[in-house]
């Protein structure tokens, strides 16, 4: 079945640094979603991407839908302590069943 590879698995950065994480798939995806999960809470949708090449920002967050439709990245600029959490990519494949395929997550820690 379709799978997503998300990297890196974890990051430990200094406050103020920029962060980049990405997801790749072996098959084409029609939608890419990026979520953030705080400890003990459910994932919260950050950005949704629907077209190849689409670049979307949400505050300090920027995400892009890869032109090949097989990858997406999320950038966080000028990180702050509250950016700490687990970031998940997710996507809908070509089967159009509505099922979301999730990446394994990137754990971000920010040192003040």
Chain residues that interact with other proteins, rule: CB under 8 A: 31, 33, 35, 40-45, 48, 50, 88, 90, 92, 96-100, 102-105
- Integer Cα distance of 51 and 66 in angstroms: 9
Report the 3 state secondary structure along 51-109.
CCCCEEEECCEEEEECCCCCEEEEEECCCCHHHCEEEEEEEEECCCCCCCEECCCEEEE
> Minimum distance from CB of 72 to other proteins (Å)?
15
Q: Is 88 exposed, middle or buried (0-12, 13-18, 19+ CB in 10 A)?
A: buried
Nearer to other proteins, 75 or 107 (CB): 107
Query: Residue 85 or residue 105: which is nearer to other proteins going by CB?
Result: 105
Shortest CB 33 distance to other proteins, Å? 6
Residue 3 is given by DSSP the state -
Identify which of residues 24 and 79 has a Cβ nearer to other proteins in the complex: 24
Query: Could you tell me the smallest distance in angstroms from the CB atom of residue 81 to other proteins?
Result: 21
Query: 40 or 112, CB closer to other proteins?
Result: 40
Please state the closest distance from residue 22 (CB atom) to other proteins, in A: 16
């Amino acid at each position: 079945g379709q799978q997503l590879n998300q990297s890196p698995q974890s990051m430990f950065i200094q406050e103020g640094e920029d962060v980049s994480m990405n997801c790749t798939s072996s098959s084409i995806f029609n939608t890419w979603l990026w979520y953030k999960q705080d400890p003990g809470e459910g994932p919260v949708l950050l950005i949704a991407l629907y077209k190849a090449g689409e670049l979307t920002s949400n505050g300090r967050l920027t995400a892009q839908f890869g032109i090949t439709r097989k990858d997406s990245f999320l950038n966080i600029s000028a990180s702050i302590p509250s950016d700490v959490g687990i970031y998940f990519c997710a996507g809908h494949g070509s089967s159009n069943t509505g099922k979301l395929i999730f990446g394994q997550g990137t754990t971000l820690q920010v040192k003040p």
